[in-house]
Amino acid sequence: MSKYGEGREALLAATVGVVAERGLHGLTLRAVADAAGVNNTLITHHFGTKDALLGEAVAWATSRAIRLSDLSAQETMDADFARTLVELVSNEPQLQLFQYEIILESRRRPELRKAVTELYDGYIAALEKALARHGHANTHALARAIFAALDGLVLQQLTVSEAPAIQESIERIGALLESSLPETKK
């Protein structure tokens, strides 16, 4: 017997997969139900509407990506972090593809902007915590800049670059961050 949360989580994962594969225009309750192997009435039971399902899927995908990359627990962007992030993108590309679909669609659908803002805020907050723990001051702007670089590298890995080149670039960001610390913090 599956627990309540497991069915809900399967629907969120199915939503991410459907959007990653078909785009937002291919997102239907039937497609999600088929991907999850359930009746589509279960979706309305758990989420009510397709928009509510989509909003919760954004939060779920962001939380999962942050947790799997161990982003908020990082002390440095070293080779281990770079390898972990590159492997996450390689092993679960649908998490990032889904998020990019939502981000782009939020330009056309203002009702998605709140979810996208929360997506970015979640990543930036996780980076801020890691940067502050490592000794960086005034971390908000730095976290935003670092996330923008990581976000761009993930997009490149999904589309035009090979994993080793992305890993090397992430390691280089880490080296730059390390070199920017005051001597007393190193």
The model's pLDDT over 50-93, given as tens digits with 9 standing for 90+, comes to 989 998 999 999 888 888 877 766 667 889 989 999 999 999 99
Residue 10 dihedral angles phi and psi, to the nearest 5°? -65, -40
Q: Are 62 and 122 in contact (CB under 8 A)?
A: yes
Q: For the whole model, what pTM was predicted?
A: 0.86
- What's the rounded Cα separation, in Å, for the pair 35 and 57? 14
Q: Largest Cα–Cα distance of the chain, in whole Å?
A: 60
Residue 134 dihedral angles phi and psi, to the nearest 5°? -85, -5
> How far from 97 is each of 63, 74, 126, 151, CA to CA, in Å?
15, 23, 20, 11
Per-residue confidence (pLDDT) for residue 39, from 0 to 100: 87
The model's pLDDT over 13-59, given as tens digits with 9 standing for 90+, comes to 999 999 999 999 999 999 999 999 998 889 999 999 998 999 899 99
Domains and CATH numbers, the chain: 51-185 (1.10.357)
